[in-house]
Amino acid sequence: MMSHWTGLLITGRWQVLQLRNIQSTLYQASYSIEWVKELFVKNRDTVLIVEDEENLRYLLRMVLEEHGIKILEAVNGVEAVKVFTTHQDEIEVVLSDLGLPLLGGWEAFIEMRKINPQLKGILASGYFNENIRNEFINLGAKDFIPKPYKAAQIIKLIREALDERRT
């Protein structure tokens, strides 16, 4: 069964703001954002965000920059491959939506992996299916996450992907 969600969960010190279908709701978070910040080395790690929804791209950038991660952005798969080609020595992880214009997120990730087979990718979609997730992971993605994004989950996956790149 598949479900469709749009939005981003942003973790604050003790609250999570969920933006879903342009509505906001406050929830309790189980740990502080300062704990997560300690996991990142300031201004060292670079992530390419590939997201066609401007608000989500902005919120992802804000959350990840808050954790000391340098962000590069693309709004479609073709642009993502161009940005990656230009910055391939910097980009360690790609966080990409699957449903992109011009070239889908999976296809763009495959093109980027042709340039750097060690590239780690985290793929996302509002249409989640566990079988699809497993297939993408078996084909080389770090993980597949459903929308709405959860900031703590994205940060954890990016940290794991960065750690794997360094080992």
- Per-residue pLDDT of 69-106, as tens digits, reads 899 999 999 999 999 999 999 999 999 999 999 999 99
**What is the DSSP-derived secondary structure letter of residue 40?**
S
Measured distance CA(73)–CA(57) in Å, rounded = 8
Q: Is the pLDDT reported for residue 12 higher than 80?
A: no
Q: Which pLDDT band holds residue 116 (cuts at 50, 70, 90)?
A: very high
**Res 44: pLDDT:** 65
Measured distance CA(89)–CA(92) in Å, rounded = 8
Q: Which pLDDT band holds residue 144 (cuts at 50, 70, 90)?
A: confident
Q: Which pLDDT band holds residue 34 (cuts at 50, 70, 90)?
A: low
Q: Give per-residue pLDDT as tens, 40-56.
A: 444 468 999 999 999 99
**Res 40: pLDDT:** 46
Q: For residues 122 and 93, is the Cβ–Cβ distance under 8 A?
A: yes
Give the predicted TM-score (pTM) of the model.
Answer: 0.72
In 3-state terms the chain splits into helix, strand, coil percentages (rounded to 5) of 40, 25, 35
Domains in the chain, please, with CATH?
Answer: 36-166 (3.40.50.2300)
Alpha helices, DSSP H only, in 6-89? 33-37, 54-66, 77-86
Measured distance CA(115)–CA(138) in Å, rounded = 19
Amino acid (one-letter) located at 107: E
